[in-house]
C-alpha cells in the first residue's frame, strides 16, 4: 500500500506580470486564494506486476497522479524513452527467437518490419515498439500517458489486449492513463482509477481473468477464391504466386476483409511428414494418391496487421482447418520459430524441415526466384488432426465485396 497521495497546485501564478495582475483584478482573484486540489489523501493499493489504468477527461488530474505514481514506483516512461537508431530486431536483447517473440507479442509480427528502424515505422507501429522496448528493459513499472490516444479504436483495443498478456507473462507492471475508457475491457487493469476532477476519484481493484477480445463476435468467415489473395499478399513475407489451390477461406470483420487462409496440394515428400505418419514408401503411387485425398497444405495465412497478437489468428486458422473436408492439414512456416499461433490453433509442432532445395514438390514446383528467396530458411512443419472436423459449411452465407 502506497502512502496517501496529495497534490495541490497553487492558484497564484508562478511568474507574475502586469497582465496576470490585471486578470486577477478583472475576475476578483484573491492573492490568498487556496491551492487547487488535484488529489487529497488518495490511497492506492498497487502491487508489483500490477496493471494500473487511470481514466478521466482532460484536466481531471490523471496525468498528475500518474507522474507521482511513476516517481514513487521508479517507472520508465515509455513515451520519453529514447529509441535507438537501429533495426527493431537489433534493438532488443536476447536470442533471435526471443526477440521475434517479443515483437510478435506487441503485434509487430510482420517480417518486413524487423529490419526497419523506429523512424521508419508508422505512428501506430512506433507506439507498439515503444511499449515493447520499454518492457524489454525489465523495469519494475512502465509508465504510459495518453495510452493508445493516437491509435484508431480497434487497434487501441488490440494493443490494450496484447499489453495485458505481456504484463501477465513478464511480471512488469504498467501505469497507463487515457481519456478513452473503451479499452478498459481489453486492458483488464488490476487497479482502475476513475478521475472525476477537483480531487474526486473512484478506485476499483479487480481480478484479472483471460477473456476473448472485446469485439471477437464481430468476425465471420466465408468461402473465398484465389482472386482474394492479392489484397493480402502485401502483408506476407512470401507474396509470390500461389500453388494449386484447393480452398480459400476469408475472415471478415463486418464488411471489411480481415484475414485469409489458402489451402493447396501437399508437396510429394517431406522428411518430417514421413516421420510423423510413419510412412514406409512416401513416394509410392498408392501413398501419393492417399496423401492427396486425405491431406491438404495450408500454404498461406495472413491476418490484417490491426488484429495481430490478440488471439484472432489462432481461432481463425483452427476454424478454417475444421471446415476443410480432409482428415489432416499440414503447414510450413518460418514464423514458427517466433510465433506459436499454430500450436494455439491446435497444430502439432513436428519440427524444422531443413533448408529447401530444388526437386520434386508435388502438384507444383517453386520457381527459382522462390527458392532463392528462401534458401536460408528452415521452416517449421506442423500437422493438424482434422478427423473430428465439423460439417463442411461456411459460418455465414454470402460474401460482401472487399
pLDDT digits (tens, 9 = 90+) for 141-182: 999 999 998 888 999 999 999 999 999 989 999 999 999 999
Q: Which helix (H) or strand (E) holds 41?
A: strand 36-42
Spatial separation of the C-alpha atoms in residues 174 and 294, rounded to whole Å: 48
Spatial separation of the C-alpha atoms in residues 51 and 348, rounded to whole Å: 34
Query: Of 251, 353, 365, whose CA–CA distance to 301 is shortest?
Result: 251
pLDDT, residue 291, reads 78
Q: Which helix (H) or strand (E) holds 196?
A: strand 191-197
Average pLDDT of 344-357?
Answer: 81
Strand order in the sheet with 191-197: 76-77, 141-144, 173-178, 51-55, 191-197, 200-205
Q: Name the grid cell of 79.
A: 513515451
* Proportion of the chain above pLDDT 70, given as a percent: 86
Spatial separation of the C-alpha atoms in residues 143 and 161, rounded to whole Å: 17
- pTM check: above 0.85: no
Query: Of 88, 78, 165, whose CA–CA distance to 130 is shortest?
Result: 78
Q: What domains sit in the chain, N to C, each tagged with a CATH number?
A: 45-205 (3.40.50.300), 216-385 (3.40.630.30)
What torsion do the CA atoms of 234, 236, 237, 242 make, to the nearest 10 degrees? Answer: -100
Q: Is the pLDDT assigned to residue 393 strictly greater than 50? A: no
Average pLDDT of 380-393?
Answer: 80
Average pLDDT of 349-375?
Answer: 56
Amino acid at each position: 500500500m502506497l502512502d496517501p497521495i496529495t497534490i495541490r497546485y497553487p492558484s497564484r501564478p508562478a511568474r507574475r506580470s502586469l497582465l496576470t495582475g490585471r486578470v486577477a483584478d478583472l475576475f476578483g482573484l484573491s492573492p490568498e486564494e487556496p491551492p487547487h486540489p488535484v488529489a487529497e489523501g488518495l490511497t492506492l493499493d498497487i502491487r508489483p506486476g500490477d496493471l494500473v489504468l487511470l481514466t478521466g477527461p482532460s484536466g481531471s488530474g490523471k496525468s498528475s497522479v500518474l507522474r507521482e505514481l511513476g516517481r514513487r514506483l521508479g517507472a520508465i516512461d515509455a513515451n520519453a524513452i529514447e529509441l535507438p537508431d537501429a533495426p527493431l530486431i537489433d534493438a532488443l536483447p536476447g536470442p533471435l527467437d526471443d526477440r521475434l517473440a517479443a515483437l510478435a507479442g506487441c503485434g509487430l509480427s510482420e517480417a518486413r518490419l524487423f529490419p526497419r528502424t523506429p523512424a521508419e515505422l508508422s505512428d501506430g507501429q512506433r507506439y507498439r515498439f515503444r511499449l515493447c522496448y520499454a518492457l524489454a528493459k525489465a523495469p519494475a513499472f512502465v509508465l504510459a500517458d495518453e495510452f493508445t490516444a493516437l491509435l484508431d479504436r480497434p487497434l487501441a483495443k488490440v494493443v490494450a489486449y496484447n499489453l495485458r498478456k505481456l504484463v501477465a507473462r513478464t511480471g512488469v507492471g504498467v501505469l497507463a492513463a487515457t481519456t478513452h475508457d473503451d479499452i478498459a475491457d481489453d486492458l483488464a487493469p488490476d487497479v482502475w482509477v476513475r478521475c472525476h476532477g477537483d480531487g474526486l476519484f473512484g478506485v476499483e481493484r479487480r481480478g484479472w481473468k483471460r477473456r476473448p477480445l472485446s469485439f471477437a463476435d464481430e468476425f465471420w468467415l466465408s468461402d473465398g477464391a484465389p482472386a482474394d489473395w492479392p489484397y493480402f499478399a502485401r502483408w506476407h513475407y512470401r507474396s509470390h504466386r500461389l500453388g494449386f489451390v484447393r480452398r480459400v477461406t476469408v475472415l471478415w470483420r463486418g464488411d471489411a476483409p480481415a484475414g485469409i487462409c489458402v489451402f493447396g496440394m501437399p508437396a510429394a515428400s517431406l522428411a518430417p511428414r514421413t516421420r510423423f505418419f510413419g510412412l514406409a514408401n512416401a513416394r509410392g503411387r498408392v501413398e501419393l494418391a492417399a496423401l492427396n485425398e486425405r491431406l491438404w497444405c495450408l500454404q498461406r495465412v495472413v491476418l490484417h496487421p490491426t488484429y495481430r497478437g490478440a488471439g484472432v489468428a489462432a481461432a481463425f486458422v483452427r476454424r478454417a482447418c475444421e471446415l476443410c473436408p480432409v482428415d489432416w492439414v499440414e503447414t510450413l512456416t518460418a514464423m514458427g520459430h517466433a510465433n506459436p499461433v499454430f500450436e494455439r490453433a491446435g497444430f502439432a509442432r513436428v519440427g524444422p524441415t531443413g533448408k529447401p532445395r530444388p526437386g520434386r514438390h508435388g502438384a507444383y514446383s517453386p520457381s527459382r526466384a522462390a527458392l532463392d528467396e528462401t534458401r536460408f530458411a528452415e521452416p517449421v512443419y506442423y500437422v493438424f488432426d482434422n478427423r473430428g472436423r465439423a460439417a463442411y459449411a461456411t459460418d455465414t452465407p454470402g460474401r460482401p465485396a472487399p
